[in-house]
Structure 1
Amino acid sequence: MSERNAVVPAGMEAVYEKIRYAPAVKVGRTIYVSGQIGRDASMQLVEGREAQIVQAFDNLKVVLEAAGASLSDVVDVTTFHTDMRDLPLFMQVRERYLNTEPLPAWTAIGAHMLGGAAGYIVEIKAVAVLPG
């Protein structure tokens, strides 16, 4: 069995220490990224729909980089949305981040509440595989 390592980027230590989950777990060449939401490094909700989606993708990027990966290594994405009417906006923002061919698989799911608190509109969970 491959060794499992928690990936905890600088600025996300509170997630691991206080909320008690790893932002990602690396097993061999595969990185399993926990759902990233639109909160900043001070654990505060980012205001504005587009800004919150951007922040969630920025958080995803930070976690991947801490694991030695990049957005182009993402092979599968699952997104959770409190309002599926946000999908066109989400897809516009997603195109800025996940645009390397071949594109990753994607599943979008409607959800009542995200991040354990009201106000969050999107959560992005991903799997990446390092080359080699």
Structure 2
Amino acid sequence: MIQRSAIVPHGMEFIRDDIGYAPGVLSGNTLYIAGQIGRNAKRQLVEEKRQQFIQCFENMKAVLHTAKMDFADVVEITSYHTDMRDLPLYMEVRNLYFAGCLPAWTAIGAASLCGTAGYFLEVKAIAVKSS
């Protein structure tokens, strides 16, 4: 049996309790971060696009910090975009968090996210904790 632990930052308990999954799962020294969206701590969609992108990465940062990791530990990202023309904005925001330590990256176009209008981005990641 694989040993693993759920990573649930303070304020994200509703994801585990109401929706039924963990924002992150730590297995050994590898952290799998579920898709993070631009929803704030009050569970509200951040409507302005750039701020929504920032919120995605702030949510990811909360998962990383709960696992005692940071963005330098992230080795792979997959981003889902409702409009691929947003890639320059996405890269600008991403680079605020990954200064000097860019991970592997795959960008995927998606017709919709969360089944709700207004979400522009979802980002999932894999991080590896250094020994």
TM range (shorter): over 0.9
Residue 95 of structure 1 corresponds to: 95
TM-score, structure 1 as length reference = 0.96
Q: Deviations over 1:12-70 (max 9, x none)?
A: 00011001110000001000000000000111100101000000000000011001110
Residue 119 of structure 1 corresponds to: 118
After superposing on structure 2, the runs of 4+ consecutive aligned residues of structure 1 that deviate more than 2 Å are none
SS at match of 2:5: strand
Identity value in percent: 53
CA distance in 1, matches of 2:2, 2:129: 14
CA distance in 2, matches of 1:7, 1:42: 19
1:38 and 2:58 are equivalent in the alignment: no
Residue 64 of structure 2 corresponds to: 64
Q: Which amino acid aligns with 2:113?
A: L
SS at match of 1:100: coil
Deviation at 1:2, TM superposition (A): 4.0
The RMSD of aligned alpha carbons is 0.9
Q: Deviations over 1:84-114 (max 9, x none)?
A: 000001111111011233x210000000111
Structure 1 segments unaligned to the other structure (5+ residues): none
Structure 2 segments unaligned to the other structure (5+ residues): none
Residue 82 of structure 2 corresponds to: 82
SS at match of 2:33: strand
- Aligned residue pairs total 131
Q: Which amino acid aligns with 1:15?
A: I
